[in-house]
Amino acid sequence: MYILGIETSCDETAAAILDVSAKSGVKVLSNVISSQIEIHQKYGGVVPEIAAREHVLHIIPVINESLVKAGIKASQIKAIAVTAGPGLVTSLLAGVETAKTLAYAWKKPLVPVNHIEGHIHANFINLKKPIKFPAIVLTVSGGHTNLVLLKGRLKYQIIGETRDDAAGEAFDKGAKMMAIGYPGGPIVSKYALEAKPSEIKLPRPMINSAGFDFSFSGLKTALLYTLKKDKDWPKKIPEYCLELQEAIVETLVSKTIKAAKKYNVKTVMLSGGAAANRHLREVLQKTVQEKLSGADFNMPNLAYTTDNAAMIAMAGYYRFINKKTAAWNKIKMDCNLDLK
Protein backbone atom coordinates (compact mmCIF):
# COMPACT_ATOMS: atom_id res chain seq x y z
CA MET A 1 0.00 0.00 0.00
CA TYR A 2 1.54 3.31 -1.10
CA ILE A 3 0.97 6.31 1.19
CA LEU A 4 1.93 9.87 0.24
CA GLY A 5 2.92 12.04 3.21
CA ILE A 6 3.02 15.86 3.08
CA GLU A 7 4.56 18.04 5.80
CA THR A 8 4.77 21.86 5.86
CA SER A 9 4.12 22.79 9.51
CA CYS A 10 7.23 24.93 9.96
CA ASP A 11 10.17 25.57 7.61
CA GLU A 12 10.66 22.26 5.79
CA THR A 13 8.65 21.49 2.66
CA ALA A 14 8.51 17.69 2.64
CA ALA A 15 6.88 14.81 0.80
CA ALA A 16 7.47 11.08 1.12
CA ILE A 17 6.15 7.82 -0.25
CA LEU A 18 5.93 4.79 2.03
CA ASP A 19 5.18 1.29 0.90
CA VAL A 20 3.51 -0.50 3.80
CA SER A 21 2.51 -4.12 3.65
CA ALA A 22 1.54 -6.61 6.30
CA LYS A 23 4.10 -9.06 4.87
CA SER A 24 7.24 -7.04 4.25
CA GLY A 25 6.71 -4.16 6.68
CA VAL A 26 7.54 -0.53 5.94
CA LYS A 27 9.71 0.69 3.07
CA VAL A 28 10.51 4.36 2.64
CA LEU A 29 10.53 4.70 -1.16
CA SER A 30 11.29 8.41 -1.05
CA ASN A 31 11.72 11.09 1.59
CA VAL A 32 12.19 14.52 -0.05
CA ILE A 33 12.87 17.60 2.07
CA SER A 34 13.35 21.13 0.78
CA SER A 35 14.91 22.93 3.72
CA GLN A 36 14.65 26.67 4.28
CA ILE A 37 17.38 26.80 6.93
CA GLU A 38 19.70 28.99 4.84
CA ILE A 39 16.90 31.51 4.21
CA HIS A 40 15.94 31.89 7.88
CA GLN A 41 19.51 31.72 9.18
CA LYS A 42 20.14 35.43 8.77
CA TYR A 43 17.11 36.21 10.99
CA GLY A 44 18.16 33.72 13.71
CA GLY A 45 14.76 31.99 13.54
CA VAL A 46 11.87 31.08 11.27
CA VAL A 47 10.02 34.05 9.70
CA PRO A 48 6.47 32.70 9.14
CA GLU A 49 5.60 34.84 6.12
CA ILE A 50 8.78 33.85 4.28
CA ALA A 51 8.29 30.19 5.25
CA ALA A 52 4.78 30.19 3.76
CA ARG A 53 5.94 31.72 0.46
CA GLU A 54 8.74 29.16 0.19
CA HIS A 55 6.27 26.30 0.80
CA VAL A 56 4.05 27.56 -2.01
CA LEU A 57 7.03 27.66 -4.38
CA HIS A 58 8.34 24.20 -3.51
CA ILE A 59 5.42 21.99 -2.55
CA ILE A 60 4.50 20.73 -6.04
CA PRO A 61 8.10 20.08 -7.20
CA VAL A 62 8.78 18.28 -3.90
CA ILE A 63 5.69 16.06 -4.29
CA ASN A 64 6.63 15.33 -7.92
CA GLU A 65 10.15 14.42 -6.87
CA SER A 66 8.81 12.07 -4.18
CA LEU A 67 6.78 10.22 -6.83
CA VAL A 68 9.67 10.06 -9.32
CA LYS A 69 12.14 8.82 -6.67
CA ALA A 70 9.65 6.21 -5.49
CA GLY A 71 9.10 5.10 -9.09
CA ILE A 72 5.30 5.18 -8.81
CA LYS A 73 2.43 7.06 -10.44
CA ALA A 74 -0.13 9.17 -8.57
CA SER A 75 -2.81 6.65 -9.52
CA GLN A 76 -1.06 3.98 -7.41
CA ILE A 77 -1.31 5.99 -4.18
CA LYS A 78 -3.78 4.60 -1.67
CA ALA A 79 -4.12 7.67 0.58
CA ILE A 80 -2.69 11.15 1.13
CA ALA A 81 -1.59 12.01 4.67
CA VAL A 82 -0.97 15.63 5.57
CA THR A 83 0.06 17.52 8.69
CA ALA A 84 -3.07 19.41 9.79
CA GLY A 85 -1.47 20.99 12.92
CA PRO A 86 -0.02 22.09 15.25
CA GLY A 87 2.36 24.50 13.56
CA LEU A 88 2.58 27.90 11.89
CA VAL A 89 -0.81 28.83 10.41
CA THR A 90 0.46 30.03 7.05
CA SER A 91 2.90 27.12 6.69
CA LEU A 92 0.22 24.54 7.51
CA LEU A 93 -2.16 26.12 5.02
CA ALA A 94 0.23 25.48 2.11
CA GLY A 95 0.40 21.74 2.81
CA VAL A 96 -3.28 21.27 3.69
CA GLU A 97 -4.58 23.18 0.65
CA THR A 98 -2.25 21.24 -1.65
CA ALA A 99 -3.31 17.91 -0.12
CA LYS A 100 -7.00 18.85 -0.44
CA THR A 101 -6.54 19.75 -4.11
CA LEU A 102 -4.68 16.53 -4.89
CA ALA A 103 -7.21 14.41 -2.97
CA TYR A 104 -10.01 15.95 -5.05
CA ALA A 105 -8.19 15.75 -8.39
CA TRP A 106 -6.81 12.24 -7.88
CA LYS A 107 -9.90 10.97 -6.00
CA LYS A 108 -7.89 9.75 -3.02
CA PRO A 109 -8.79 9.55 0.67
CA LEU A 110 -7.26 12.30 2.78
CA VAL A 111 -5.79 11.61 6.22
CA PRO A 112 -5.19 14.52 8.62
CA VAL A 113 -2.18 13.87 10.87
CA ASN A 114 -1.12 15.68 14.02
CA HIS A 115 2.52 16.81 13.74
CA ILE A 116 3.43 15.34 17.15
CA GLU A 117 1.73 12.10 16.18
CA GLY A 118 3.97 12.15 13.11
CA HIS A 119 7.12 12.59 15.23
CA ILE A 120 5.97 9.73 17.47
CA HIS A 121 5.46 7.51 14.43
CA ALA A 122 9.02 8.09 13.20
CA ASN A 123 9.66 5.33 15.74
CA PHE A 124 7.58 2.87 13.70
CA ILE A 125 9.49 3.26 10.42
CA ASN A 126 12.53 1.06 11.04
CA LEU A 127 11.31 -1.18 13.83
CA LYS A 128 13.61 -3.98 14.85
CA LYS A 129 10.88 -5.58 16.94
CA PRO A 130 7.22 -4.72 17.60
CA ILE A 131 6.49 -1.91 20.06
CA LYS A 132 4.98 -3.20 23.30
CA PHE A 133 2.26 -1.09 24.93
CA PRO A 134 1.86 0.81 27.15
CA ALA A 135 4.70 2.92 25.87
CA ILE A 136 5.92 6.39 26.69
CA VAL A 137 7.33 8.81 24.11
CA LEU A 138 9.47 11.83 24.84
CA THR A 139 9.00 14.28 21.96
CA VAL A 140 11.52 17.09 21.84
CA SER A 141 11.40 19.57 18.97
CA GLY A 142 11.76 23.26 18.31
CA GLY A 143 8.10 23.89 19.13
CA HIS A 144 7.18 21.06 21.50
CA THR A 145 8.42 19.12 24.48
CA ASN A 146 6.08 16.53 25.84
CA LEU A 147 5.67 13.11 27.35
CA VAL A 148 2.93 11.07 25.75
CA LEU A 149 1.59 7.83 27.12
CA LEU A 150 0.62 5.45 24.33
CA LYS A 151 -1.86 2.98 25.76
CA GLY A 152 -2.17 1.30 22.39
CA ARG A 153 -2.11 2.15 18.72
CA LEU A 154 -3.31 5.78 18.23
CA LYS A 155 -4.28 6.02 21.93
CA TYR A 156 -2.52 9.11 23.19
CA GLN A 157 -2.51 10.72 26.63
CA ILE A 158 -0.29 13.74 27.20
CA ILE A 159 1.10 13.37 30.72
CA GLY A 160 3.61 16.21 30.63
CA GLU A 161 4.40 19.21 28.46
CA THR A 162 6.43 22.35 28.50
CA ARG A 163 4.91 25.32 30.28
CA ASP A 164 6.94 27.76 28.19
CA ASP A 165 9.85 27.12 25.81
CA ALA A 166 10.50 23.77 24.12
CA ALA A 167 13.82 21.94 24.60
CA GLY A 168 14.83 22.60 20.97
CA GLU A 169 14.02 26.27 21.50
CA ALA A 170 16.34 26.33 24.54
CA PHE A 171 19.14 25.03 22.30
CA ASP A 172 18.25 27.57 19.59
CA LYS A 173 17.98 30.57 21.92
CA GLY A 174 21.15 29.59 23.81
CA ALA A 175 23.02 29.49 20.49
CA LYS A 176 21.54 32.85 19.51
CA MET A 177 22.78 34.43 22.78
CA MET A 178 26.28 33.16 22.04
CA ALA A 179 25.91 34.15 18.36
CA ILE A 180 27.09 30.74 17.14
CA GLY A 181 24.43 30.12 14.49
CA TYR A 182 21.02 28.68 13.67
CA PRO A 183 19.48 26.18 14.29
CA GLY A 184 21.20 25.95 17.65
CA GLY A 185 20.78 22.26 18.53
CA PRO A 186 23.33 20.72 16.16
CA ILE A 187 25.77 23.63 16.68
CA VAL A 188 25.60 23.47 20.49
CA SER A 189 26.14 19.71 20.46
CA LYS A 190 29.15 20.08 18.14
CA TYR A 191 30.77 22.72 20.37
CA ALA A 192 30.08 20.58 23.45
CA LEU A 193 32.39 17.91 22.07
CA GLU A 194 35.37 20.30 22.44
CA ALA A 195 34.58 21.37 26.03
CA LYS A 196 37.19 21.29 28.79
CA PRO A 197 36.16 20.68 32.42
CA SER A 198 34.68 23.87 33.90
CA GLU A 199 32.84 25.31 36.89
CA ILE A 200 29.91 26.58 34.80
CA LYS A 201 26.63 25.49 36.36
CA LEU A 202 23.13 26.04 34.97
CA PRO A 203 19.84 24.98 36.62
CA ARG A 204 17.94 21.78 35.81
CA PRO A 205 14.46 23.38 35.64
CA MET A 206 11.61 21.58 37.43
CA ILE A 207 13.70 18.42 37.68
CA ASN A 208 12.32 17.59 41.14
CA SER A 209 8.85 19.07 40.73
CA ALA A 210 5.77 16.93 41.08
CA GLY A 211 4.22 15.87 37.78
CA PHE A 212 5.86 15.63 34.40
CA ASP A 213 5.72 19.15 33.01
CA PHE A 214 8.84 20.90 31.75
CA SER A 215 9.97 24.53 31.70
CA PHE A 216 12.99 25.77 29.80
CA SER A 217 12.60 29.54 29.80
CA GLY A 218 14.29 29.85 33.22
CA LEU A 219 17.30 27.97 31.87
CA LYS A 220 17.54 30.47 29.02
CA THR A 221 17.42 33.39 31.48
CA ALA A 222 20.00 31.72 33.73
CA LEU A 223 22.32 31.33 30.74
CA LEU A 224 21.79 34.99 29.78
CA TYR A 225 22.72 36.26 33.27
CA THR A 226 25.66 33.87 33.62
CA LEU A 227 27.05 35.10 30.29
CA LYS A 228 26.53 38.74 31.35
CA LYS A 229 28.55 38.17 34.52
CA ASP A 230 31.38 36.42 32.72
CA LYS A 231 33.52 38.76 30.58
CA ASP A 232 35.52 35.79 29.28
CA TRP A 233 32.50 33.87 27.98
CA PRO A 234 33.54 34.10 24.30
CA LYS A 235 36.59 31.99 25.21
CA LYS A 236 34.40 29.39 26.89
CA ILE A 237 31.72 28.71 24.26
CA PRO A 238 32.31 24.92 24.21
CA GLU A 239 32.02 24.79 28.01
CA TYR A 240 28.78 26.81 27.99
CA CYS A 241 27.41 24.59 25.22
CA LEU A 242 28.28 21.45 27.17
CA GLU A 243 26.56 22.70 30.33
CA LEU A 244 23.48 23.86 28.39
CA GLN A 245 23.22 20.44 26.74
CA GLU A 246 23.77 18.65 30.06
CA ALA A 247 21.06 20.72 31.78
CA ILE A 248 18.54 19.98 29.02
CA VAL A 249 19.38 16.27 28.67
CA GLU A 250 19.50 15.59 32.42
CA THR A 251 16.08 17.20 32.91
CA LEU A 252 14.50 15.37 29.97
CA VAL A 253 15.90 11.97 30.93
CA SER A 254 15.05 12.30 34.63
CA LYS A 255 11.39 13.18 33.95
CA THR A 256 11.02 10.48 31.30
CA ILE A 257 12.33 7.74 33.61
CA LYS A 258 10.09 8.94 36.46
CA ALA A 259 7.04 8.88 34.19
CA ALA A 260 7.98 5.48 32.74
CA LYS A 261 8.14 4.05 36.26
CA LYS A 262 4.85 5.62 37.34
CA TYR A 263 2.97 4.28 34.32
CA ASN A 264 4.81 0.96 34.34
CA VAL A 265 5.51 1.14 30.62
CA LYS A 266 6.93 -1.65 28.49
CA THR A 267 8.64 0.65 25.97
CA VAL A 268 10.31 4.05 26.11
CA MET A 269 10.63 6.00 22.85
CA LEU A 270 12.22 9.25 21.76
CA SER A 271 11.22 11.57 18.91
CA GLY A 272 11.39 15.10 17.49
CA GLY A 273 14.16 17.26 16.02
CA ALA A 274 16.18 17.37 19.25
CA ALA A 275 16.11 13.56 19.25
CA ALA A 276 18.96 13.99 16.75
CA ASN A 277 21.10 15.01 19.73
CA ARG A 278 23.66 12.26 20.18
CA HIS A 279 24.11 12.85 23.90
CA LEU A 280 20.36 12.66 24.54
CA ARG A 281 20.09 9.46 22.47
CA GLU A 282 22.94 7.80 24.37
CA VAL A 283 21.97 8.90 27.87
CA LEU A 284 18.27 8.05 27.52
CA GLN A 285 19.02 4.62 26.08
CA LYS A 286 21.59 3.83 28.79
CA THR A 287 19.33 5.06 31.61
CA VAL A 288 16.35 3.05 30.36
CA GLN A 289 18.55 -0.06 30.26
CA GLU A 290 19.94 0.59 33.76
CA LYS A 291 16.85 1.83 35.57
CA LEU A 292 13.89 0.16 33.88
CA SER A 293 14.56 -3.53 33.84
CA GLY A 294 12.60 -5.29 31.15
CA ALA A 295 11.54 -2.15 29.28
CA ASP A 296 12.48 -1.77 25.61
CA PHE A 297 13.98 1.39 24.19
CA ASN A 298 13.34 2.63 20.66
CA MET A 299 14.33 5.74 18.75
CA PRO A 300 14.04 6.78 15.09
CA ASN A 301 16.92 6.74 12.63
CA LEU A 302 18.50 10.20 12.43
CA ALA A 303 16.83 10.84 9.05
CA TYR A 304 13.40 10.76 10.72
CA THR A 305 14.09 12.94 13.78
CA THR A 306 13.84 16.47 12.35
CA ASP A 307 10.74 17.39 10.31
CA ASN A 308 10.09 15.02 7.41
CA ALA A 309 7.09 13.57 5.60
CA ALA A 310 7.95 9.88 6.02
CA MET A 311 6.83 10.14 9.66
CA ILE A 312 3.58 11.81 8.54
CA ALA A 313 2.95 9.01 6.01
CA MET A 314 3.67 6.42 8.74
CA ALA A 315 1.13 7.93 11.13
CA GLY A 316 -1.21 8.43 8.14
CA TYR A 317 -1.05 4.72 7.34
CA TYR A 318 -2.28 3.75 10.82
CA ARG A 319 -4.99 6.41 10.77
CA PHE A 320 -6.05 5.25 7.31
CA ILE A 321 -6.40 1.57 8.26
CA ASN A 322 -8.34 2.73 11.33
CA LYS A 323 -10.68 4.71 9.05
CA LYS A 324 -9.64 8.09 10.47
CA THR A 325 -9.90 9.88 7.13
CA ALA A 326 -11.52 13.19 6.20
CA ALA A 327 -13.39 14.33 3.09
CA TRP A 328 -11.23 16.71 1.03
CA ASN A 329 -13.62 19.61 1.74
CA LYS A 330 -14.02 18.79 5.47
CA ILE A 331 -10.39 18.60 6.60
CA LYS A 332 -9.51 21.36 9.05
CA MET A 333 -6.14 22.98 9.50
CA ASP A 334 -5.66 23.88 13.17
CA CYS A 335 -2.47 25.54 14.40
CA ASN A 336 -3.25 24.33 17.95
CA LEU A 337 -4.50 20.87 16.98
CA ASP A 338 -4.83 18.54 19.98
CA LEU A 339 -3.26 15.12 19.97
CA LYS A 340 -6.07 12.59 19.91
Beta carbon nearer to ligand KG4, 112 or 168: 168
**Interactions with ligand KG4, residue window 143-172 (CB under 6 A):** 143, 168-169, 171-172
Q: Are 317 and 20 within 8 A, CB to CB?
A: yes
CA distance 273 to 286: 20
CA distance 115 to 148: 13
Beta carbon nearer to Zn ion, 88 or 257: 88
**One-letter amino acid for residue 57 of the chain:** L
**Per CB under 5 A, 169 contacts Zn ion:** no
With CB cut-offs between 5 and 8 Å by kind, which of Zn ion, ligand KG4, none does residue 84 bind? none
CA atoms 245, 301, 162, 38: torsion sign = positive
What are the residues facing 270 on neighbouring strands?
138
Beta carbon nearer to Zn ion, 296 or 307: 307
Beta carbon nearer to ligand KG4, 108 or 281: 281
CA atoms 10, 15, 21, 24: torsion sign = negative
**Per CB under 6 A, 185 contacts ligand KG4:** yes
**Per CB under 6 A, 174 contacts ligand KG4:** no
Beta carbon nearer to Zn ion, 162 or 295: 162
Beta carbon nearer to Zn ion, 116 or 242: 116
With CB cut-offs between 5 and 8 Å by kind, which of ligand KG4, Zn ion, none does residue 316 bind? none
**Interactions with ligand KG4, residue window 254-273 (CB under 6 A):** 272-273
Beta carbon nearer to ligand KG4, 72 or 335: 335
**Residue 37: which residues within 8 A CB-CB, separation 6 or more?**
11, 182, 183
Burial class (CB in 10 A: 0-12, 13-18, 19+), 43: exposed
**Residue 172: which residues within 8 A CB-CB, separation 6 or more?**
45, 142, 182, 183, 184, 185
Residue 340 in 3-state DSSP? coil
With CB cut-offs between 5 and 8 Å by kind, which of Zn ion, ligand KG4, none does residue 171 bind? ligand KG4
**Per CB under 6 A, 183 contacts ligand KG4:** yes
Pairing of strands 2-7, 135-140: unpaired
Upper half-sphere CA count for residue 147 (Cβ side, 13 Å): 27
**Interactions with ligand KG4, residue window 39-68 (CB under 6 A):** none
Count other Cβ atoms within 10 Å, centred on residue 179.
9
**Per CB under 5 A, 117 contacts Zn ion:** no
Binding mask 221-260 for Zn ion (x = CB under 5 A): ----------------------------------------
Residue 25 in 3-state DSSP? strand
* Minimum distance from residue 116 beta carbon to Zn ion (Å): 8
**Per CB under 6 A, 307 contacts ligand KG4:** yes
With CB cut-offs between 5 and 8 Å by kind, which of ligand KG4, Zn ion, none does residue 118 bind? none
Binding mask 139-158 for Zn ion (x = CB under 5 A): --x-----------------
285 phi, psi to nearest 5 deg: -60, -50
In 3-state terms the chain splits into helix, strand, coil percentages (rounded to 5) of: 45, 20, 35
- Contact residues toward ligand KG4 (CB under 6 A) are 10, 141-143, 168-169, 171-172, 183-186, 189, 272-274, 276-277, 306-307
